[in-house]
Amino acid sequence: MTMLSLALVIILHNYGLSVCQNKSRPNIVMVMSDAFDGRLSFDPGSRVVQLPYINYLRELGATFLNAYTNSPICCPSRAAMWSGQFVHLTQSWNNYKCLDPNTTTWMDILETNGYYTKMMGKLDYTSGSHSVSNRVEAWTRDVPFLLSQEGRPVSQLVGNTSTVRIMGEDWKNTDKATQWIHQTAASSHRPFALYLGLNLPHPYKTESLGPTAGGSTFRTSPYWLKKVSSELVSVPKWLPMAAMHPVDYYSTFTKNCSGNFTEEEIKNIRAFYYAMCAEADAMLGQVISALRETGLLNNTVVIFTADHGELAMEHRQFYKMSMFEGSSHVPLLIMGPGLKSGQQVNQLVSLVDLYPTVLDISGISVVGNLSGHSLLPLLSTSMFFKKQHPDWVLSEYHGCNVNASTYMLRSGRWKYITYADGQSVSPQLFDLKLDQDELHNVGVKYPDVQAYLDKLLRNIVDYPKVSALVRFYNKKTFGAWRHDLGRNYSQVIANLRWHVDWQRDVLANERAIDKWLYGTV
């Protein structure tokens, strides 16, 4: 063995020991929220709302300042996290088509290697909440008509200054998780891995709109609103509708945000969203408290993250399904034995990195090819480790409320977004150092940068080929659905929340679908 090889072995050995504190393998607890804007986990975003337990993780652990989802929608994002594979590899195209149930997750590997495992709350990685209306809109997004799929975003105040538990299902699952820590994990002789999935701060379903309604209600109580610094709640800058990129225009329209909004409406939606984040933070706190009370915290790695963010009226949109920062930037904080306190990591990372990270924490070798890379080396002071992680992240989207497959490559100060085959829809390039609001597409100004990033992206994924595969899936699946409905098809599709133009000219839209589906009029 050469001296260099021996030195590397010693470094790796000592690094592994530092993570485990020379003890048995650490426990692992992951809390994954839904629709949590990652920019709220560090300054200046963290100033707008009190998040004491996220701050606790930040002070005692590491905060990843540039963490991204691999797909800005629930199921495909979680499929990437659980499998360690990019979306185009798992073909998790939307909330209806996600990860194969037989896929081996990192939790499966932990269990095989002696960990006591428990999963609670929102999982959503094989399939999730996806109405027929959303499915049809996703499948037919190439048809040239607009569909109004979502309810207009609204804020709703409930309870009083003593009302703490708004999202009852999440609190129920959090109670179960903390009970499991006290009653089961505390007495286990094996290391354990606990996953808790939250719904918050995802907006609530708007019940008044009927069974096909999406989640467009931002609901909270005065108790949580007190945690928000109202003077710091901003009103985002919007481009005029005529100046929007065509895909962003489509998203704005199908999210029912093309109408007029008062400044008060916008600020309320944003303030209520931040208050919902504070409620989610309290659930994280309950889990941390249970670990501390049982004496388990010192030998437990705690990870907090989210499947995607929330636009909260940025870019004249709410929800996710966008590559803008509010939608694609997620929180990622890791605290645990042997990890340095107060670290802020600038490296670009994404959710596929969690699979190899969890295995690295537990001392399990990765078998097979993964899209992600362990994050533990980024928490080391060794420059050797820091060069092992790619300097880019990939995110892609193929679902509803967007009328073209979308690909985002973030590298350095640049965010490159391209669509479909890369030619039929114009791409976007943003300089996030100078344009944090992402209002200025500078692709024409920097053609060499755009060309370089497009080449890099094509080396990572043949995105025109993937887009064609998605279009084939959409046509095939819609055609099968239509065939299965038989004579009921016309009635079912008429009851979906179509844009008014559909009902005004049913025949014309039916012809458009037939032309798209069969190539005939």
Q: Can you tell me the mean pLDDT for 71-97?
A: 94
Q: Can you tell me the mean pLDDT for 378-398?
A: 79
Instruction: Give the pLDDT score at 124.
Output: 79
Contact 311, 150 (CB under 8 A): no
Confidence band, pLDDT 50/70/90 cuts, at residue 402: very high
Nearest-10 crossing angle of helices 168-183, 263-293: 10
Q: Can you tell me the mean pLDDT for 478-502?
A: 78
pLDDT tens, position by position, 315-370: 999 999 999 999 999 999 999 998 999 999 999 999 999 999 999 999 999 888 99
- Sorted by where each begins, the domain ranges of the chain are 27-391
Instruction: Give the pLDDT score at 510.
Output: 78
Q: Which of 74, 75, 98, 257 is catalytic?
A: 74
**32: pLDDT strictly greater than 50:** yes
Q: Can you tell me the mean pLDDT for 486-513?
A: 72
**12: pLDDT strictly greater than 50:** no
**385: pLDDT strictly greater than 70:** no
Instruction: Give the pLDDT score at 166.
Output: 98
> What is the rounded distance in angstroms from the CA atom of residue 146 to the CA atom of residue 401?
10
Instruction: Give the pLDDT score at 130.
Output: 67
Instruction: Give the pLDDT score at 521.
Output: 40
Closest listed residue to residue 220, CA positions, set 174, 270, 280, 156: 156
Q: Does 44 sit behind a cis peptide bond, omega within 30 degrees of 0 on the bond before it? A: yes
The pLDDT mean for the chain works out to: 90
Q: Does 27-391 carry CATH code 3.20.20.10?
A: no
> Is-catalytic flag, 257?
no
Instruction: Give the pLDDT score at 11.
Output: 40
Per DSSP, 228 falls in state B
**Three-state SS for 116?**
strand
pLDDT tens, position by position, 220-263: 999 999 999 999 999 999 999 999 999 999 999 989 999 999 99
Contact 312, 273 (CB under 8 A): yes
**Which of 12-26, 233-247, 507-521 is predicted most confidently?**
233-247
Looking at the DSSP assignment, which residues form a beta bridge with residue 419?
Answer: 406
- Parallel, antiparallel, or unpaired: how do β-strands 428-431 and 414-419 relate? antiparallel
pLDDT tens, position by position, 259-299: 999 999 999 999 999 999 999 999 999 999 999 999 999 99
